[in-house]
Structure formats: structure tokens, C-alpha cells
Amino acid sequence: MRMVDLILKKRQNIELTETEINWMIEQYTNEDIPDYQMSSMAMAIVFNGMTDKEKYYLTNAMVNSGDRVDLSAIEGKKVDKHSTGGVGDKTSLTLGPLVASCGAKLAKMSGRGLGHTGGTLDKLESIKGFNINVSEDDFIKQVKDIGIAIIGQTKDMCPADKKLYALRDVTGTVESIPLIASSIMSKKIAAGADTIVLDVKVGSGAFMEDIEKAKALAKAMVNIGKQFERNTTALITNMDQPLGKAVGNSLEVIEAIETLKGNGPKDFEDLCIDLAAHILLNAGIVGSYDEGVALLKEKIKSGEALNKFKDFISAQGGDATVVDDYTLLPTAKYQYEVKAKQDGFVKKMNALAIGNYAMTLGAGRLTKDASIDLAVGVLLDKKIGDDVKQGGTLAVIHSNNELTDDKLNEFYSIYKISSERVEKPKLIFDAVQ
Ligand code: URA
């Protein structure tokens, strides 16, 4: 077989066979196919797409390029959740303990933040002592014992995806539904859960800016999941504004804990409950979505979900007393209120701009190896549809550096205020099953 023939075939939009895709991924992982040929193939896929069969073969080849996590020693339903990434998305921190308190077994491998989007691992590391580097044996034991573990991806999982994603990043070939779908799903399949719920974000702070593309990505991922006989559902959710009020690592941890105490912002709580109810339903823990919602609300009210969070943090070496004392988290030196200059209603607030602003404060990283400041970020007092009064607080910026008026005005300009009433935006657009 020659790679050039496969590139020509894809360029002519002819379906590649399973043998061809397996050969290509194996040779590429072994460095027998050079980056320039693989990037040419990726570009042909960007233009011509892939059939359902090809997407499945590609995912499978990437799964087989490395180790799979064997969760068979864990009794009960093994569940996983993935978000395509957004601003203020701390869902796993709240949803994990919630579903675990209902009897699901959440065995999750998460990532770090890059660019304007945050990462679950960084947020968890705001908690003193929390360890994300847990051996596979300890990971499995923890899920068995308490129903939840969240760790970093092991080195040997999906090496083909790691190599291909890095190549796509520098060759203008990230934005391709088959490539994104197979990349995400290869990691989910290798991680071993039998029930997977995906949160596909759409809007200014997301990968997908329009709803039709988000739906196509959701369908592609659900389809791949089904071919691997994993119970997979995807929700399409709004990322035109940050989720909840907190953006920034330790600020988001506080919001996640407050939500487990029943005091979270409504949009964030609603999304956690919705995703979690789908997990419980798909895992067969409840008989209907509504039963799931009721059970989850009960777990918040009774304090069981919060206790599960404490068990989870302690099991991974973190200081669980943080739930009663937020001063144990990194705290920024300065707080600046951003005040409204007119009466009206918040019409827009670009999630990407807020994510980028938080990144410039130090909350996010521009390159994979950059260090971040866990204390800084923004707390949004007002969001789209809220009414504002001149002089009232729109947001509070938490910074470890003194900020100039220009820098504060930069944040103010992210808010668009209208004199006419504005509807609160829809949070969940669709569910794909
Ligand atoms: N996240 C992934 O893991 N892969 C992609 O291709 C895009 C986002």
C-alpha cells in the first residue's frame, strides 16, 4: 500500500476501506508515514468528509493505536461525560458527584485548559493536595469504592490521535466534523465507559458557531458511539455567554460547590441536572428522565451529592474542608467592580471575549506548557436578559495585578446594553440520541 494512493482516493471522494485506514493509522503512529502526507490526507478529509463507515474505522484505528482502560472490575454502570469545551464550564465538578451519589460509576479522564476554554484538571488542582496522576489500579479502586474518579489522560491512550491532533492544529485541519468526532470518540471509547453523554457547545465561545454544524458533530459522535455499542447521547447547548457566573479556576470550584449545596446559578444547575438525568436514564438507574431530575434534586437537598464531592476530593489527596472554607483556595490580591454606565438590559456578552480576557489575567494558557494563575478570573453579576442600573455592578474582576482603567474598560466593552427588554437565551437546544 502507498499513502499517496490513499490521498488520491480521498481527494477523489472515494470511500477508504477498513484495511486502508488501519494501515494508514498504524504506519503514521510508527512514523513510517511522514507528517506532510498525513496533513495532505487530513486536508482531503476536511474538503470531502468521511462516510459513517470511515469515521468508525478511523476511530477504531486510533483506539487500537494505544491502551484501553479495562473497567470490567467495576460493578455497575460505568459512565462518562465529555464537553466540547467552553467558558465557565465546570460541569464535571458538580455532575460527577451528583451521578455518583445516585449509584453511577463515573470513571473520567479529563484535560487541561487551552486558549479561552478552561480544563477540569486545572480547576481541581486549585484544591490543595489534589492529585490528578493516579495509577490505573488506584483509579479503578477509587471508582469501585466511591463511584467517582477524575484523572489526567494516561500517556499510552490513543497515541495516534495525540499525533494527528497536534498536526491538525498547525495545518488548518482542526475544523472537520469527521476528524473532531473520531478524535473525541476514540478517547471516550478507550476510556472504557458503557454510557457516554456528550455536551456539544454552540456559540461564540465554542468550536461550533452555528447550530446546524453542532448538530452534525453531535450526530457523528453519537453514531460512532453506537457502532461501539456504547449508549451515547449528545446535548447541544448554548455557549454564547459563559456558563454560570464564574470564569477562572478557583472561582469555578466555589461555584461548583455552591451548586452542590443548592445555591448555584440557575443555568449552571439546570445544565448539570439535564446532563446528569440523561446519564442516569441511559445507565438504567432511573426509568425516566423526570425520575432522574427528581432523584438528582433530592441528592442536592439531602447533602449526599456534597458529601460525595468531599469523598472524591479526599480520595485524590485534596483538602475536602475547602467546601466549608473557600479561603483555602487561591485568592486574588485585587478585586475590581465593573459598573454599568447606563440603565437597560444586557443584550450580548461574547463568551470568547470573556474567556480571552480571563486568559490575559492569567486564568488560561496560550500554549500547552504555559503556567496559569489559579486565583484569577471574573465573576459575572449580570448576564444576557438581566436588567442593569447605571452604577450597578456588571461583573467583578479578580486579578493578581493592578489593572488600568483601559483594561477595565476593555471588559466593559464586552457587555452590550440595550434599552429594550431582552429575552433570556435558551440553554439547551436539542438532544441527539
Ligand atoms: N477536541 C479533541 O479532542 N479533538 C478534536 O479534534 C477537537 C477537540
Q: Using pLDDT thresholds of 50, 70 and 90, give the confidence band for residue 188.
A: very high
Q: Is the CB–ligand 1 distance for residue 157 below 6 Å?
A: no
Does pTM top 0.90 for this prediction? yes
How many A from CA of 113 to the centre of ligand 1?
12
How many A from CA of 36 to the centre of ligand 1?
20
**pLDDT, averaged across the chain:** 96
Indicate if the pLDDT at residue 267 is higher than 90: yes
Please give the CATH architecture assigned to the domain spanning 3-48.
Answer: Up-down Bundle (1.20)
Indicate if the pLDDT at residue 116 is higher than 90: no
| 92 half-sphere exposure, CB direction, 13 A CA radius | 30
- Residue range 109-126: mean pLDDT, rounded: 88
- Residue 79 to residues 104, 120, 198, 276, 282: CA-CA distances in angstroms? 7, 17, 11, 10, 9
pLDDT at site 186: 97
**124-133, 247-256, 301-310, 359-368: the lowest-pLDDT one:** 359-368
pLDDT at site 199: 98
Domain ranges of the chain: 3-48, 78-324, 328-418
pLDDT at site 114: 75
Q: Using pLDDT thresholds of 50, 70 and 90, give the confidence band for residue 341.
A: very high
Q: Which of 55, 184, 189, 200 to mutate to test the pocket of ligand 1 (most atoms within 8 A of CB)?
A: 184
Nearest CA to ligand 1 atom 3: 184
Query: Exactly one of 65, 101, 183, 186 is catalytic; which is it?
Result: 183
- Catalytic, 371? Answer no
Q: How far apart are CA 165 and CA 160, in angstroms?
A: 8
Q: Helix or strand or coil: residue 236?
A: strand
Q: Is the CB–ligand 1 distance for residue 45 below 6 Å?
A: no
Bridge partners (DSSP) listed for residue 208? 202
Indicate if the pLDDT at residue 414 is higher than 80: yes
Q: Is the CB–ligand 1 distance for residue 177 below 6 Å?
A: no
Kindly report the length of the chain.
433
Q: Is the CB–ligand 1 distance for residue 165 below 6 Å?
A: yes
How many A from CA of 178 to the centre of ligand 1?
10
How many A from CA of 183 to the centre of ligand 1?
5
CATH of domain 328-418: 3.90.1170.30
Nearest CA to ligand 1 atom 8: 180
Q: Which atom, in ligand 1's list, is nearest to the CA of 168?
A: 6
Q: Which atom, in ligand 1's list, is nearest to the CA of 180?
A: 6
72 exposure class (CB count in 10 Å sphere: 0-12, 13-18, 19+): exposed
Q: Are strands 415-418 and 387-388 parallel, antiparallel or unpaired?
A: unpaired
pLDDT at site 372: 93
Q: Is the CB–ligand 1 distance for residue 280 below 6 Å?
A: no
Nearest CA to ligand 1 atom 2: 184
Q: Answer whether 213's CB lies under 8 Å from 427's CB.
A: no
Per-residue pLDDT tens for 300-321?
A: 999 999 999 999 999 999 999 9
Q: Is the CB–ligand 1 distance for residue 179 below 6 Å?
A: yes
Query: Exactly one of 187, 188, 215, 299 is catalytic; which is it?
Result: 187
Q: Is the dihedral of CA 198, 204, 209, 215 positive or negative?
A: positive
pLDDT at site 132: 96
pLDDT at site 169: 87
- Catalytic, 92? Answer no
- Catalytic, 418? Answer no
- Residue 387 to residues 239, 349, 392, 409, 419: CA-CA distances in angstroms? 20, 14, 10, 20, 9
Q: Is the CB–ligand 1 distance for residue 153 below 6 Å?
A: no
Task: Name the DSSP class of 16.
Answer: P
Per-residue pLDDT tens for 356-409?
A: 999 999 999 888 788 899 999 999 999 999 999 999 999 999 999 999 999 999
Bridge partners (DSSP) listed for residue 234? 198, 432
Q: Which atom, in ligand 1's list, is nearest to the CA of 179?
A: 6
- Catalytic, 161? Answer yes
- Catalytic, 77? Answer no
Q: Which of 163, 174, 182, 213 to mutate to test the pocket of ligand 1 (most atoms within 8 A of CB)?
A: 174
pLDDT at site 369: 80
Query: Exactly one of 82, 188, 201, 383 is catalytic; which is it?
Result: 82
**164-173, 179-188, 288-297: the lowest-pLDDT one:** 164-173
How many A from CA of 291 to the centre of ligand 1?
33
CATH of domain 78-324: 3.40.1030.10
pLDDT at site 118: 80
Percent of the chain with pLDDT over 90: 93
